[in-house]
Amino acid sequence: MPDNLGELEQLVMLALLRLGEDAYGIPVQQELARVARRHATFATVYSTLQRLETKGFVKSRLGDPTPERGGRRKKFFAVTGAGSRALRRSMQATERMSRGIDPSWERR
């Protein structure tokens, strides 16, 4: 399974880490909008979470049924050890690539 991460995958994993063990789709979507100023649909967030789970970078668990959701259970997500390592490698690669770039690029 490829261990590289796209930008949205990185942001979703960072949102999971920020939210802790109570992370599920809607708070992840809200965290992306609030912190990263990245507006993603719920479908986009959920498909990213599913893709990350397929890669083994996140795991999920079902919570208890709740009355406010009509008895439906929430699906909570957490970053796995493999996910932490992939996220670290991805962020380090971005950092290495950005070193030494002429700062004037930001004004273009």
What CATH architecture does domain 7-94 belong to? Answer: Orthogonal Bundle (1.10)
Q: Which residues does residue 58 pair with via DSSP β-bridges, in sequence order?
A: 79
Tell me which H or E stretch contains 90.
helix 81-98
Amino acid, res. 62: L
* Per-residue pLDDT at 89: 95
C-beta neighbour count of 36 within 10 angstroms: 16
% of the chain at pLDDT higher than 90: 69
Instruction: Tell me the whole-structure pTM to 2 decimals.
Output: 0.87
Amino acid, res. 83: G
44 burial (CB, 10 Å; 0-12 / 13-18 / 19+) is: middle
Mean pLDDT value across the chain: 91
Reported as a single tens digit per residue, the pLDDT across 39-81 is 999 999 999 999 999 999 999 999 887 777 667 888 999 999 9
Examine the pLDDT at 85 and tell me if it is beyond 70.
yes
* Per-residue pLDDT at 69: 63
